[in-house]
Amino acid sequence: MNPYICDISSFNMMKPFVIGICGGSGSGKTTLLKKISSHYGVDSVSVFTMDNYYFPIEQQEKDKNGVVNFDLPTALNKASLVNDLRNLLNGQEIQVKEYFFNSPPDKNVMLTIEPKQIIIVEGLFLFHYTEVFKLLDFSVFVDVDMETQLDRRIYRDQKSRGYDVSDIVYQWKNHVTPCYQNYIQPFKKKASFIYRNDKNFEKDFLSLIGLLSENLITIK
């Protein structure tokens, strides 16, 4: 029997277990949450993505060159985000528009998120928003070198957003890197677990699941 498998069938629904996942752009946050969800089963896990709370592009701040900067804590509707998350943790079903970059607001799909035994909260400003951080039972910082993050960002933004490499590099230097240095990296030491998303990812995933399962057992 796998020692890291935790039976959550009798988990107390009055107290969901809240896992927070944070890391820089391209660090692998989404991949990790999918792995955790798959491990415990999609019927037991709800995912709360902070990206769904970005303000419309016309409300975003611009840098000195007039380029929209999405990598600021003010880019998200924090009040709505915190309110929805609290409602979800209190056992209420919530609805939120799924965010797609550059998609018109009226084209976004409305998502229904149901409260479940495990709730995973994922986003850049997970630690910076203290109202969110204090709601977590366990926090994970996804750590990978900046060069790898940039390579992943270039691949993603060329393929899914149609950006030129020059535009991607501009945003990386002027928006993404300052965001990481100011609002993400300083909180790394506060994480319950640092997940190394490199050659150590398989080993670290097993260690992470072991810790999560131990915590799930203690709050049954």
Which two tokens mark 192?
Answer: 């319950």
In a domain, 11, yes or no: no
pLDDT tens profile 101-136: 655 555 668 899 999 999 999 999 999 999 999 999
Long-range contacts of the stretch 57-66 (C-beta < 8 A, 24+): 57/102, 63/174, 63/175, 65/174
In a domain, 5, yes or no: no
User: Going by C-beta distance under 8 Å and a sequence separation of 6 or more, which residues neighbour residue 38?
Assistant: none
Which two tokens mark 181?
Answer: 């240095």
In a domain, 54, yes or no: yes
pLDDT tens profile 139-166: 999 999 888 888 888 888 876 667 788 9
Host domain of residue 49: 17-214
In a domain, 9, yes or no: no
Residues in the chain with pLDDT values less than 50: 1-4, 10-13, 219-220
If phi over 0 gives left and psi between -120 and 50 gives alpha, with beta otherwise, what is residue 23? left
CATH of the domain at 21: 3.40.50.300
The H helix count followed by the E strand count for the chain is 7, 7
In a domain, 7, yes or no: no
In a domain, 10, yes or no: no
In a domain, 8, yes or no: no
| Domain count within the chain | 1
In a domain, 116, yes or no: yes
